[in-house]
Structures are given as C-alpha cells and as structure tokens.
Amino acid sequence: MSPAGRVARWVRPQIRSLQAYHVPDPGDAIKLDAMENPYRLPAELVGAWLERLRAVPLNRYPDPTARALAGRLRAYLGLGDELGLIFGNGSDELIQIFLLALGGADRVVLAPSPTFVMYRMIALFAGLRYVEVPLRPEDFALDTDAMLAAIEAERPAVVFLAYPNNPTGNRLPREAVERIVEAAPGLVVVDEAYAPFAEDSFMDAVGQWDGLVVMRTFSKQGLAGLRLGYAVGPRAWIEAFEKVRLPYNIDSLTQASAAFALEHSAVFETQAARIRAERARVQAALARLPGVAPFASETNFILFRVPRGLGRAVFDGLWARGVLIKDLSTQAGLEDCLRVTVGRPEENDAFLSALRSALEAAAA
Ligand SMILES: *Cc1c(COP(=O)(O)O)cnc(C)c1O
C-alpha cells in the first residue's frame, strides 16, 4: 500500500481532516502577526548572556526539573512552598499536558468562544469533547450565566479562561472568573499569556481555590524563540501533571537563558511599558480612521473591525504594502476583524499608513 494509502487507513480521521497550522513566510515584511515583542535583548546584555550559555554543558541532558530556573522564578513570583510550578515547551505544551492528564472519551473541555485556538486543537488531539460558550458579538463580553449553565450541564474536566483573551484582547471581569472557579468541578486554567500588558492577575490568588491553576509564558514578553511556559497551582495538581511531562522538555540553553532573563526582569518590564504606551497610541489612531473600530485591549495586540465584507481585501492590501498582520475575518464571530500586534513606533506608523491606503483601495 502507498504511504498515502497507509495514512488513509491508519491516521485518525479527526487528524486527517485537519489543515496543518499555517504561518506565512514574512520575508522582509513588517511582522505584526504573532504577538511578538519587537525589541531584542539590549546590546549591552548580549555579552553577559552569551557568557552564561558558554558554560552550559551541551553533552549532558538538561536538568529534568530545571531546579535553578525554578528557584529564580519562585522568588520572582513570590510563590509559597504549598504551591507547585511546572514548565512547558511553550504554554502550548502545558495545555497538552493538562489535557493528556485529564483526558478521556467522556471528558469535556469548556471555553468561551472565540478564544485561543490551541485549546480546541489539543482537545481534539487528546480526544476530549470541546464545548464553547459564545462571547457577546458586539463587544466580546462573557455571558457569565451562560457559562455557569454550561458548567452545570457539562461538568467539564477542564475550563480554559484566557485572561486577557486572545484574539479579542479584552479581559473578563475578575468577578466572573471567580464565579466560574467556584462553580467548576475540575480544573480551571487561567491563561495569563498577556500578563505583562494586563491590569489584573490571578497569580496571587493561586491556592485560594481547589481547581485554580494559573499559566503564563515567556513568549509574549520578548522570548518567543525560547519556547518556555509555566503553570502554578496547588501541589496535588502540579504533581499529577509532572507524571505526563516528558523528562527533558526544557532544554539547557532555554533554562540558562530564562534564568538570565529573570535576573534582568527590569529590561523586559521597560519593554512591556513601551509596548503598552504604543498600544494606546495605535488604538487612538485606529479609532480616527473612518470605518475602523478598534476593540479594547489589555494585551500587546489590537483587534479591529473594518467595513463589512472588506476584511480579506484590507489584509491583502496590507500584505501587498509590506505589512503582515492576522486575518481573522473568516472565523465565526470575528467577521470583518483583523488583529495587529503592537510593534516599534516606526513599524506601527508604517502599519497605520499602509492601512489608510489599503482601506481606500478596498473601498474603491
Ligand atoms: C500565545 C498564547 C499562548 C501560547 O504561548 P506559548 O508559550 O508561545 O506556547 C497561550 N495562550 C494564549 C492565550 C496565547 O495568546
């Protein structure tokens, strides 16, 4: 039988019907599609960082528990001994670990919609049923009563709440999250990928609820290339997840680099502050463009709506003008919506000027 024949015979139908995750090659375009921090490690720190890497013994396996890094991160977060900490190869891998640990044919994952696509994808890979509660179409607010009713009806093993949410950029009210954590029978993951850009956090509340685990990542903060995420929760949860984690999931160079970054956390905090200031400026500029409606954001990106039916044309017009953003306009609930990551001031200016002409061309 041909390879394709064997694939048709053996690869699970749910997987065969998927499209592989497609990321366009940005070439020389201005890259504002993936919530990356536009700033690199400052030149004056590169030497010290390389010195640190020089000492890493690459002939040895990494420390399977990343002890040195964990110590630094615990101090940085002020974690008490009653809490556990687990690292993932990006928070994507942590989502996979949670769902492998809690999966099963009769198990449900519950999340608002639209939200981060990997919750749904990994639920599918791990064989859990994925249930969505739609956000209000006009402002992406959560219908808390509908969410509580879904918890009652579905008894989900896992609830994911991106806090703030991707791709909408807004944050649920804290009180809504508290009510959901009170009501949920299993695990509630509060995903704080955008913590450096947000005005609230549940990190200090971990331990107050039996089901609450808070997840974060180094990616959006300036180290997307490292692939490092972490989750904090009651020890019993983290010990269960540790059983599923592959022993050497965090390589030695990542462990050393992340520890170095934590020693210089002020650098990353300054970069995040600069991005938040730029976010306000871009948001105001978008609001002044005729026919453009930006949504509120506590992240490093802005979701905005363009005139009806023009989403794809405006995205293509930006791409033709050398600016890559994210087209969400074909997703249910996100009609006419595009998402731009906040970049450096000159990148944002180039985006705004390309958007102005792309809008005119699309409307003509
Ligand atoms: C980007 C993102 C992640 C994934 O982060 P990685 O650590 O890079 O895997 C997780 N959750 C949300 C909501 C995100 O937007």
Q: Give the pLDDT band (50/70/90) at residue 248.
A: very high
The answer, yes or no, to whether any atom of ligand 1 lies below 6 A from the CB of 142, is no
Q: Say how many Å lie between the CA of residue 6 and the centre of ligand 1.
A: 34
Three state DSSP letters for the chain:
CCHHHHHHHHCCHHHHCCCCCCCCCCCCCEECCCCCCCCCCCHHHHHHHHHHHHCCCCCCCCCCCCHHHHHHHHHHHCCCCCEEEEEECCHHHHHHHHHHHHCCCCCEEEEEECCCHHHHHHHHHHCCEEEEEECCCCCCCCCHHHHHHHHHHHCCCEEEEECCCCCCCCCCCHHHHHHHHHHCCCEEEEECCCHHHCCCCCHHHCCCCCCEEEEEECHHHHHHHHCCEEEEEEHHHHHHHHCCCCCCCCCHHHHHHHHHHHHCHHHHHHHHHHHHHHHHHHHHHHHHCCCCEECCCCCCEEEEECCCCCHHHHHHHHHHCCEECEECCCCCCCCCEEEEECCCHHHHHHHHHHHHHHHHHHHC
pLDDT at 40 over 80: yes
The finding on whether 89 has its CB within 6 A of some atom of ligand 1 is: no
Residue nearest to atom 2 of ligand 1 (CA): 193
Q: Considering only CA atoms, which residue is closest to atom 5 of ligand 1?
A: 91
pLDDT at 234: 98
Q: What is the pLDDT of residue 25?
A: 85
pLDDT at 1 over 90: no
- From 96, 98, 116, 117, give the residue whose CB has the most ligand 1 atoms within 8 Å, as the site to mutate: 116
Q: Whose CA is nearest to atom 14 of ligand 1?
A: 193
- How does pLDDT run across 292-325, given as a tens digit for each residue? 999 999 999 999 999 999 999 999 999 999 999 9
What is the pLDDT, as a whole number, of residue 22?
72
Site to probe by mutation for ligand 1, drawn from 219, 227, 341 as the one with most ligand atoms within 8 Å of Cβ, is 219
pLDDT digits (tens, 9 = 90+) for 113-140: 999 999 999 999 999 999 999 999 889 9
Report pLDDT digits (tens) over 182-233.
Answer: 999 999 999 999 999 999 999 999 999 999 999 999 999 999 999 999 999 9
Instruction: Kindly state if the Cβ of 254 falls inside 6 Å of ligand 1.
Output: no
Q: Is 251 in the pocket of ligand 1 (CB under 6 A)?
A: no
Q: For the chain, what percent of residues have pLDDT higher than 90? A: 95
